[in-house]
Amino acid sequence: MKKQTAMNRDWIATARTLSEALPFLQRYDDAVVVIKFGGHAMGDDTAMESFARDIVLMQQVGVNPVIVHGGGPMINEMLDKLDIKSEFVKGKRVTDAATVRVVEMVLSGLVNKRIVQAINAQGGNAVGLSGKDANLMICTQTNPDLGFVGTPSKVNPKVLRQLFEAEMIPVVAPLGMGEAGETFNVNGDTAAGAIAAALKADRLLLLTDVSGVKDDKGEVVTELTVDHIRRLTESGVIAGGMIPKTETALDAIAGGVRAVVILDGRAPNACLLELFTEHGAGSIIRAG
């Protein structure tokens, strides 16, 4: 009898959770949510399966998700296997002609299709593409010293909207094309921010390996404004790898994204917690 009572409590709690989610489900009906997927979660089969299930559920309740992924560790592994040596300028890898071919092979092939397969295995209908497809992302060279590393200069989201209409989930590899047809490697966060801005997305979720933006006491700040981010950066509280993520957030908001969330992609159901519960997850950044 005790076991049955405990099960009943679990069912009641589940039903209550679903009921409490109703306002959030209504809030995000037909909303565009761009998700940058990266970090350790990409290399873990269980985490990948959980992420894929969450994405399928999001689409099932009316959200239009777009996945933009990274793949740095996989690229490094393949370069090592092929014995392609890399040069570095001020700590950044030079992407020469040989390296960019490997980058495209790994991102558009291995990594992209693994995510597509994971989503489809959960009952979704994902389609993989890169920024080169349908002129999605036109780039300029970021720095001649770094070779084929690009910065998005023009994003054409028409193909993504067509996929939404067909009830498909776009999974985008962060590669772009130059005006002369050359291939550029694009930072995953930067690509996600540019795509989110072009879509005027309701949310940009940057999944990382940290719990969010922290204050000078090391505590996660759950809500921030653009001015707050700038003050924390100027004072040195925001430093290191968090700087490019917050810069991406500021650029995305300036481009028309309603809010950006930096959250821990390793946490179970992180995207669902952020979108469909009052608690949320990580640090949300708004214009003001």
Supply φ then ψ for residue 249, to 5 degrees.
Answer: -60, -45
From the candidates 132, 150, 245, 282, give the one annotated as an active-site residue.
Answer: 245
Burial group, residue 97, by CB count within 10 angstroms (0-12, 13-18, 19+) = exposed
From the candidates 189, 202, 212, 265, give the one annotated as an active-site residue.
Answer: 189
- 36 as an active site residue: the answer is yes
From the candidates 39, 70, 124, 147, give the one annotated as an active-site residue.
Answer: 39
From the candidates 72, 178, 255, 280, give the one annotated as an active-site residue.
Answer: 72
Contact 267, 281 (CB under 8 A): yes
Contact 196, 285 (CB under 8 A): no
- 72 as an active site residue: the answer is yes
- 62 as an active site residue: the answer is no
Contact 54, 79 (CB under 8 A): no
- 189 as an active site residue: the answer is yes
- 282 as an active site residue: the answer is no
CA distances from 94 to 97, 99, 185 (A): 10, 8, 11
**Angstrom distance (rounded) from CA 209 to CA 264:** 5
- What is the dihedral sign for C-alpha 5, 267, 105, 161? positive
From the candidates 36, 38, 131, 212, give the one annotated as an active-site residue.
Answer: 36
Catalytic residues: 36, 39, 72, 189, 245
